[in-house]
Amino acid sequence: MPEKKTIEKAKKDKKEGKSASTQAGEFVHQEIEHIKQGKHGARSTKQAIAIGLSEARRAGVKVPASKTASKETRSKAEHDNAAGAKGAKKVSPTRSKATSDALKKEGHSAASTKALSTQAKSAAANRTAADRSASARKAAKTKGPEERSAAARKAARTREKST
């Protein structure tokens, strides 16, 4: 069950016109924090992200499945989105406890700085130049004037360092 503050952050993101993936990022961040705090573990960083995305979908964030996702993943995402659209439903305590117990047996290295860095790098490597360009354009649209100028200053600093 997602925390209230996470749901509020996601709602705030939606109100600000940010993308569904940004809203879902709040839930993924919460999952990573839970693993770091030792509430439960995860087999991999990918699993932690999947749990966060599933929670986001069930909380009503309309996150589509990845284009490259497997058939099973796509149907699970569809099911979660449908559950999120219906609203909260009573969860089976037996199933919930079984899931929690299974996750508690997993390790906590999935949320380590190294694991998160590796995941981010491999995810970035799979994106095309067109994808990166499109997301940059979309980001520029949703930023306010202060954020835009801060981003421009950061880009200028980065260019200075690389030359």
Model pLDDT, residue 42: 96
> Do 86 and 19 belong together in one domain?
yes
> Do 105 and 73 belong together in one domain?
yes
Of the candidates 38, 19, 26, the residue with the CA atom closest to the CA atom of residue 103:
38
φ/ψ of 99, rounded to 5, equals -65, -45
> Do 95 and 18 belong together in one domain?
yes
> Do 117 and 81 belong together in one domain?
yes
> Do 78 and 108 belong together in one domain?
yes
pLDDT digits (tens, 9 = 90+) for 61-71: 999 998 888 99
Domain range for 51? 4-126
pTM for the structure as a whole = 0.79
Structure letter (DSSP) for residue 23? H
Question: How far apart are alpha carbons 18 and 5 in whole angstroms?
Answer: 17
Give yes or no for a contact between 42 and 34, defined as CB atoms under 8 angstroms apart.
no
> Do 79 and 148 belong together in one domain?
no
> Do 37 and 84 belong together in one domain?
yes
pLDDT digits (tens, 9 = 90+) for 122-158: 998 989 999 989 988 887 887 888 988 998 899 999 8
Question: What pLDDT band is residue 163 in, cutting at 50, 70 and 90?
Answer: low
Number of structural domains (the chain) is 2
